[in-house]
Chains A and B, each alone.
Chain A
């Protein structure tokens, strides 16, 4: 690999100063003159038909400019998920922006635009909705039973989607097994807890064009879904890329209600309309789908798998949306293909209930799968007295193996064994005592888990967009501008793009700026999700920068009278190979490229060449060549208070193969932030709903608990084993989602090691620990 000057270094994040001084470019801070404020009226009932809505009193309230109900909203049915086409065959189309049928408590049934948010809020209370209540069903297994309330006409037994995979001979595999293990593993509903709420400002033109500003993860997805929702051509919708957003984590990967509703209100009033979710509204806008995993595994005495049967029941909530894809990813990459088992069957059920609609959340089905499989793996090793590290190593893939899912692709870089070995060494796994062997009320335990297969994007997934594009332009002052639709969620995409361009153009990273982009002017990019940005957008931006460099060399070759193939870049200069003193500053080349053919000088007119003229610019739009798997193993040490049931994580070691690490500090930040989300999932986070009314009981941070800095383990160590992913930009592939896919399983295994009993339902609350210990 050639020497790299910018990639691999912890360069200063260009957005850091702006963010720590208030971050004025967050979409939540956006406003326009004359802007109205919208609010949504939400159904108190989880399942109902709207008989009548009377908005006349609301319309009379001074300051109210427009009121809309389902009758004003196009009844276009589509999939609101950004990363697939609105009518993708692999997905389920069951969503309309507003309907006369209510399927979850909190579903918007009307909206108001007014001169202030308070007036809009007051107007909501003047809207009289007459509902006919229907029987709700909240439990997916209840919803699958005959006679259960049906949510959608074309989904018998409320099954939105029931995919399955199988290979080998399951029966023969179980017959061959020396031991069979069975378990049920249940995960809960959680929220990504992005800091910036879902918020948008939508403006409209007299010709029906609309411009959208929104805190979301995919501009082109939003454009497409807006067009479909409103029944207008895509070209009538321009989505402005947010400079950055206050977090998404997968929770802003679908058009919900606010953008189309704001557009309708804007079209009706001719004024820009802003809608911002309250935290309580955000908590019911998206969630990681709970999945109940029934897991049966056959193993030989030596720990080799012989057979595995998996049944996964996913609570999709009121509409399938992400639930139709999460179940697939959970099956493929969460449970089935990560592990090498010769005889396997997986059956998945994505089931409608009167719960809130599921959304994306980093890991997208894998945390639920990893928790189930790695919990059971731990049980197997414990019961059979097997070395848990050798057990993982023996049942997973090896570098050079064919990719288990993608035909024709190879696991070019795959260092799981190194991750297991180095992680175990660092935490001192050999000092691990047998389960429940420490004295006293506070018991310590060490556990680990790994996840042997994940993604760098979505190449190979049916219907999922994957290509990226960028334009790179050199300025006369020696800086470069990058136009990219890749949205920075906070995880450093802007920094990554500047590193790529700086590397290719021989600039300092500070000389590269990611600038304005919108869907009218910038090339397409898939969303920032699925650990794809560095790999896919990084490769496309690299290709654009190479185009720019080629253009620069073409101009330089005219100026310098050298062959373009003999030129190279260093420290802001173009040089001729073999003549290190020959350098001409890039600024001089770009200045000449942008100047008139005849230049007046003190010595009189100077003729330049036609060949050197024209903006030094390059662009690319391309799909990535593959979908390499990152891998990681995570070791944790916990302390369990057996009096109160409280679990404290003391030490974490995350060992990852991410290919080349682009930005070491940012990578460590991803490990730590990811662990925080994973630990919240493991120990405390739980979106809870009243089981009679479907009302959200944890609609703010008083009741929805996430780990604060005070609960974070005092020691988190990141180990990056070096590997080179040949298809990736500079040898890189993805890393970040694995940081939070694994913690629940690792912590569950450590808790088992501490107390000798296993909690198979998340979150592992103090109460569940005490129940497991038989103390309640």
Chain B
């Protein structure tokens, strides 16, 4: 499953970069993200609690930063499994920030996600839609946070 999102944030590029690369600030914007902790340079552990109607799941994931070119580009690999080991997730993601104006940044996020196990059986079709809605929630939440903080007045 491939996800690509491009959106604009009313904030300078460096501010967006700082926000996105600091786990404690970005985590609350991620739907279902219960906890993120840094376990080493560029290495994080996170707990994601997701709910799709009556389907509930908790993923424990490891996130590792790959290439990093502040404040414009970074890659991440994510891997993890459900608490019950019934599903595994693997993702290769890339983030790029483009300065549009002084206070306006374009964010492009791509992710190639593989889900295995019980949740993989959904097939990519529905999960794509689900991931899209989650992505949109994330974007809205993040825009609110950064834009309020850096916004005028």
- Which residues does A use to contact B, with CB under 8 Å? 44-45, 105, 125, 128, 690, 692-693, 695-697, 699
Residues of A within 8 A of B84 (CB): 125
A128–B81 CA distance with the chains assembled, in angstroms: 11
B51 interfacial by beta-carbon distance below 8 Å? no
Assess A690 versus B117: contact at CB under 8 Å? Given A44-B88, A125-B85, A125-B86: no
B70 interfacial by beta-carbon distance below 8 Å? no
Residues of B within 8 A of A690 (CB): 114, 120, 123-124
Which residues from 70 to 99 on chain B have a C-beta closer than 8 Å to any C-beta of chain A?
84-86, 88
Assess A105 versus B116: contact at CB under 8 Å? Given A44-B88, A125-B84: yes
Residues of A within 8 A of B63 (CB): none
B86 and A695 within 8 A (CB): no
CB closest residue in chain B, given A131? B88
Interface size grouping (class) on chain B: 10 to 19
Residues of B within 8 A of A125 (CB): 84-86
**Across the A-B interface, how many residue pairs have beta carbons closer than 8 Å?**
29
A692–B114 CA distance with the chains assembled, in angstroms: 7
Residues of B within 8 A of A695 (CB): 116-117, 120-121
CB distance from B57 to the nearest CB of A (A): 13
B146 interfacial by beta-carbon distance below 8 Å? no
Residues of A within 8 A of B123 (CB): 690, 697
A513–B131 CA distance with the chains assembled, in angstroms: 61
A-contact bits for B33-54, CB 8 A (1 contact / 0 none): 0000000000000000000000
Residues of A within 8 A of B85 (CB): 125, 128
Of B1, B88, B121, which one neighbours A699 at CB under 8 angstroms? B121
A693 and B86 within 8 A (CB): no
B27 interfacial by beta-carbon distance below 8 Å? no
A45 and B116 within 8 A (CB): yes
Can you show 17 pairs from A to B with CB atoms below 8 A apart? A44-B88, A44-B116, A44-B117, A44-B120, A105-B116, A125-B85, A125-B86, A690-B124, A692-B114, A693-B114, A693-B120, A695-B116, A695-B120, A696-B121, A697-B121, A697-B123, A699-B121
CB closest residue in chain A, given B123? A697
- Which residues does B use to contact A, with CB under 8 Å? 1, 84-86, 88, 112, 114-117, 120-121, 123-124
Q: A690-B114, A693-B114 are in contact. List 18 more A-B contacts (CB 8 A).
A: A44-B116, A44-B120, A45-B116, A105-B116, A125-B84, A125-B85, A125-B86, A128-B85, A690-B123, A690-B124, A692-B1, A693-B115, A693-B116, A695-B117, A695-B120, A695-B121, A697-B123, A699-B121
A45–B81 CA distance with the chains assembled, in angstroms: 13
Summarize A's interface: helix, strand, loop or mixed: loop
Residues of A within 8 A of B121 (CB): 695-697, 699
Residues of B within 8 A of A696 (CB): 121
Question: What are the 8 A-B residue pairs with the smallest beta carbon separation, nearest first?
Answer: A44-B116, A695-B120, A125-B85, A693-B116, A693-B114, A692-B114, A697-B123, A125-B84
Residues of A within 8 A of B124 (CB): 690
CB distance from B60 to the nearest CB of A (A): 13
CB closest residue in chain A, given B125? A697
Residues of B within 8 A of A44 (CB): 88, 116-117, 120
Most buried by B among A125, A128, A696, A699: A125
Residues of B within 8 A of A128 (CB): 85
A105–B117 CA distance with the chains assembled, in angstroms: 10
CB distance from B116 to the nearest CB of A (A): 4
Residues of B within 8 A of A105 (CB): 116
CB distance from A531 to the nearest CB of B (A): 36
A180–B84 CA distance with the chains assembled, in angstroms: 59
A534–B127 CA distance with the chains assembled, in angstroms: 51
A673–B115 CA distance with the chains assembled, in angstroms: 38
A44–B120 CA distance with the chains assembled, in angstroms: 10
CB closest residue in chain A, given B119? A695
A297–B95 CA distance with the chains assembled, in angstroms: 54
A696–B84 CA distance with the chains assembled, in angstroms: 20
Residues of A within 8 A of B86 (CB): 125
A690–B85 CA distance with the chains assembled, in angstroms: 19
Residues of A within 8 A of B114 (CB): 690, 692-693
A695–B114 CA distance with the chains assembled, in angstroms: 10
Residues of B within 8 A of A699 (CB): 121
A125–B86 CA distance with the chains assembled, in angstroms: 7
CB distance from B125 to the nearest CB of A (A): 10
CB distance from B35 to the nearest CB of A (A): 22
CB closest residue in chain A, given B113? A692
CB closest residue in chain A, given B86? A125
Residues of A within 8 A of B112 (CB): 692
A697–B121 CA distance with the chains assembled, in angstroms: 5
A515–B117 CA distance with the chains assembled, in angstroms: 44
CB distance from B80 to the nearest CB of A (A): 12
CB distance from A694 to the nearest CB of B (A): 9
Residues of A within 8 A of B1 (CB): 692
CB closest residue in chain B, given A695? B120
Residues of A within 8 A of B120 (CB): 44, 690, 693, 695
A128–B88 CA distance with the chains assembled, in angstroms: 13
Most buried by A among B1, B85, B88, B124: B85
CB distance from A56 to the nearest CB of B (A): 15
CB closest residue in chain B, given A129? B85
CB distance from B24 to the nearest CB of A (A): 30
